[in-house]
Amino acid sequence: MNYIKTISNSRDETELIGFKLGNILKKLGGPTTIYLFGDLGSGKTVLIKGIAKSYGIAPRDIGSASFVIVAEYETSPPFYHIDLYRIEGDDALESLGIWEYIDSSGITAIEWAERLSEIPEESIKVKLKFLGEESREIIIEGIDEKDWDNMQEGQV
């Protein structure tokens, strides 16, 4: 399995990790769905702000999507920020049209991917864990360590 494991010691560091991931995904091209796992406050939204920045969206425009469930950005490719925190059950997922977003030709970032009954294989999964007040373990599955190491911090 291709994955990278890293530690973030601040909010800004997590946003930078997201930016780095976004830059790699952008370079690889094509539609992508990023599945994020982790407890409330672990940093999923912060990391998505960094990913979004790679696609030309200002981090401040990425909200805590819990209230919106789906936020769409008319970038090219389109960017979808989805938060499944308040979603319960497969029926609710169906009526949200989650599979259309997952299969869309855009970039889709999904918080609370724990809520999904299935996740396609070979997908990009980000797992965040609390280590301390400001430190988090971040595992990114589906990314080559080589791509990660070759991508300079903050490079576009």
Q: Where along the sequence are the contacts to ligand ADP (CB under 6 A)?
A: 8-11, 13-14, 38, 40-46, 64, 111, 134-136
Nearer to ligand ADP, 25 or 138 (CB): 138
Verify binding: residue 45, Mg ion, rule CB under 5 A: yes
Question: Which residue bears the tokens 């702000």?
Answer: 49
DSSP-based three-state secondary structure for 25 = helix
Nearer to Mg ion, 32 or 45 (CB): 45
Contact at 8 Å (CB) between 62 and 48?
yes
Verify binding: residue 42, Mg ion, rule CB under 5 A: no
Rounded to a whole number of angstroms, the minimum distance from the CB of residue 18 to ligand ADP is 9
Q: Is cis: bond before 59, omega within 30 of 0?
A: no
Separation between Cα atoms, residue 14 and residue 42, nearest integer Å: 10
Nearer to ligand ADP, 10 or 95 (CB): 10
User: Which pair of tokens denotes residue 23?
Assistant: 């830059």
What part of residues 67-126 is at the interface with Mg ion (CB under 5 A)?
111
Separation between Cα atoms, residue 144 and residue 110, nearest integer Å: 21
Verify binding: residue 44, Mg ion, rule CB under 5 A: yes
Residues contributing to the site for Mg ion (CB under 5 A): 44-45, 111
